[in-house]
Homo-oligomer: A and B are copies of this chain.
């Protein structure tokens, strides 16, 4: 499948590597693709010029990545997501599955980050993306775990859950199929895109479990009666 990943940090590189290994035709999209952009350090990851050499992966503009993908992944920052999708171009998103992996975290006061005020009340980043691009088929997914766990759930022991939310059942089925190809066995469908409020708000406890245990290799499992 042709997949366009928007964003070039650790989440983007990790998802791109796994999807390429599974045989998909993947490109990473950046706002600008200058030698400086390719050389600069990336959040939780190597410079993209090094990633390209090591993986054979391609880096193009956001618009080119969005045009390339039948399925798109938003792996930009919370702050950068809507501007980046606007730069990619609404027409390039039309009718496509857009997996929103981003978290609306405010790091302005250092650690721990907290939810950006504009997405912490009766809305969420994913809902605002869906509202800004109404013909995209937004599915919130993969935002509640470390990048390594997204593509290798076996790094966490025992049953644990991938949470998804979105308005389009067929889009959620396609995202679930991708998740199963990564090894996910337990997928919890939180209903329409409003469910993203729940998964985005998992970040404060995710960060806290990380800082108190020293390990990012953890995830939640919903136990039921």
In the complex, the chain B residue whose C-beta lies closest to that of A212 is: B191
Q: Identify which of residues 151-176 in chain A touch chain B, using a CB-to-CB cut-off of 8 Å.
A: 155-160, 163
Copies of this chain held together in the complex: 2
**Residues from chain B with Cβ under 8 Å of A215 in the complex:** 224-225
Q: A129 interface residue, CB < 8 Å from B?
A: no
Tell me the complex Cα distance, A217–B155, Å: 28
Given A109-B122, A114-B197, A156:B205 Cβ within 8 A: no
Q: Is the CB of B202 within 8 A of A190?
A: no
Besides A114-B121, A156-B224, 4 other A-B contacts (C-beta < 8 A):
A157-B225, A191-B208, A215-B225, A219-B222
Residues in chain A within 8 A of chain B (CB atoms): 106, 109, 112, 114-115, 117, 120-122, 155-160, 163, 188-191, 194-195, 197-199, 201-209, 211-213, 215, 217-225
